[in-house]
Structure 1
Amino acid sequence: MQQITAGIDAGGSLIKIVYQENGRMHFKKFSITKLDSAISWLKMVAPSLKVSITGGKALAIQNSYFQDSTLIPEFQATCEGARFLLTKENKSIEKSYLVVNIGTGTSWHLVNGDKAERILGSGMGGGTFTGLGSLLSQVQDYQLLTVLAEEGNKGIVDMLVKDIYETAESPINGDLTAANFAKGKKLNHTEADLLASLSNMIAETIVLLTSQAAAIHQVKNVVIIGTAVIGNPSLKTGLENYLNMLGLTTVFLEKGEYCGAIGAYLSV
């Protein structure tokens, strides 16, 4: 029986699996609450497995399912996966760049050639969008929350620069946020408006930290990865617009949510 290699990234919200069969790389993800189903599926499609695991729940999965597997440090796997995808997706970039991994929370990595270093972390990320979004609306499903955020108008909830200057000439773009949720006490907003404001706040916070890290480390290229930007157009658009406004080149990897699993797979 042919042995198949697989990489598993077990995070706080999702378990992502990458394996290769007949020269083709396959990708699959499950909610971490369906861990048993995910492992059963993997063992069914690939009965003879050689596995490497990364992520916060890697040790637990190794102990319960794959005692002979190899554990790969999460940040190492993430950056290795990003390097691989930059080449595979034919996206040219300078030698030194930032990798911003927006998952449940957000991590920043400085990559310079073969060297990579985690330089920053924040609790602001996809978990914030899902959790706070559920508190601000009657919606619990992540994808439905992203649809509402795309439909809403942040300017109804956020105080914008032009709201302060009104008829006076603004020294900066009037559509920029002066204060997140500052109009929240008014009752003429919808759930969609609240979620648009939430998405904008997350994007602005991530961009602020990214721009500071880029300035400190003198880089101009930012690679955005992670599950939180997948199927979330309001967050993705906000990130891209703000980063470009600051003169930073933004690269989104098509399979960026699988960087950790790819990095684990490459180490098998």
Structure 2
Amino acid sequence: MQQITAGIDAGGSLIKIVYQENGRMHFKKFSINKLDSAISWLKMVAPTLKVSITGGKAHAIQNNYYPDSTVIPEFQATCDGARFLLAKENKTIEESYLVVNIGTGTSWHLVNGNQADRILGSGMGGGTFTGLGSLLTKVKDYQLLTVLAEEGNKGNVDMLVSDIYETADSPIQGDLTAANFAKGKRHTHKEADRLASLSNMIAETIVLLTSQAAAIHQVKSVVIIGTAIIGNPSLKHGIETYLNMLGLRTVFLEKGEYCGAIGAYLSV
């Protein structure tokens, strides 16, 4: 029987699996609440498996399911996976760059060749969008939250620069945010508007921290990865727009949400 190799990234919200079979890489993800189902599926697909694991729940999976597996440090796996995908997708960056991993929260990594260091972290991320989005609306489903955020108008909830200057000449672009949620007392906004405002606030915060890190470390390119931007066009567009406005090159990886799992897979 052919032995299959796999990498598992078990994070706060999702378990992501990358496995190789017949020379091809396959990708699969499950809610972390479906951990037993994910492992049962993997054991059915690959009864004979050599595996490496990363992420916050890596040791729990190792202890309960794969005692012979290897646990790879999460940040190492993430950056190794990002390097691999950059090369695979012909998006190689010659100079130092930032990897911004937007998952449940957000982590920033400075990558220079084979050297990678985590330089910053924030609790602002996909967990914020899902959790606070559910508090601001009656919606609990992630995909529906993203649809509503795309349909909404942040200007009905956020105070914009143009709201302050009105007819006067503005020193900066009028559609930029002066104060997040500052129009919250008004009753003219809808659930979709509140979600658009939330998505914008998360994007602005991530971009602000990214721009400061880029300035400190003198980098011009930013690689955006993580599950929070998958199927969330409002958040992805906001991040890309603001980063480009600041003169930073933005690179999105097609399989960027699997960087950790790929990094674990590469270590097998």
**Cα distance between partner residues in 1 of 2:78 and 2:175:** 35
Partner residue in 2 for 1:230: 230
Aligned partners of 1:7 and 1:261 also within 8 Å: yes
Partner deviation per Cα, 1:131-151 (whole Å, 9 max, x = no partner): 000000111011100000000
Structure 2 CA distance, aligned partners of 1:47 and 1:85?
A: 28
The TM-score with structure 1 as length reference comes to 1.00
Alpha-carbon distance in 2 for matches of 1:92, 1:58: 29
The alpha carbon displacement at 1:94 in A equals: 2.7
Q: Which residue number corresponds to residue 167 of structure 1?
A: 167
C-alpha contact 1:94 1:221 (8 A) present in aligned 2: no
| TM-score normalised to structure 2 length | 1.00
**Alignment-derived partner of residue 205 in structure 2:** 205
Distance in 1, Cα, partners of 2:6 & 2:98: 27
Instruction: Find the counterpart in structure 2 of residue 256 from structure 1.
Output: 256
2:229 is the counterpart of 1:240: no
Q: Secondary structure at the match of 1:187?
A: coil
CA RMSD of aligned residues (A): 0.4
Alpha-carbon deviation of 1:93? 1.7
Counterpart residue identity of residue 31, structure 1:
S
1:49 CA drift (Å): 0.1
Aligned to 1:135: 135
CA distance in structure 1 between the partners assigned to 2:23 and 2:254 by the alignment = 19
The residue that corresponds to 1:42 in the other structure is 42
Unmatched segments (≥5 aa) in structure 2 = none
Q: Which blocks of at least 5 consecutive residues in structure 1 are unaligned?
A: none
Aligned position for 1:106: 106
Match of 1:117, as an amino acid? D
Give aligned pairs, total: 268
The 8 Å contact of residues 78 and 263 in structure 1, kept in 2 or not, is answered as yes
1:11–1:57 contact (8 Å) kept in structure 2: yes
Q: For 1:145, what is the secondary structure of its paired residue?
A: helix
Could you list the runs of 4 or more consecutive aligned residues of structure 1 that deviate by over 6 angstroms after TM superposition? none
> Superposed, which structure 2 residues align to 1:74-223 within 5 Å?
74-223=74-223
**2:6 matched residue in structure 1:** 6
SS at match of 1:181: coil
Specify the alignment match of 1:16 in structure 2: 16
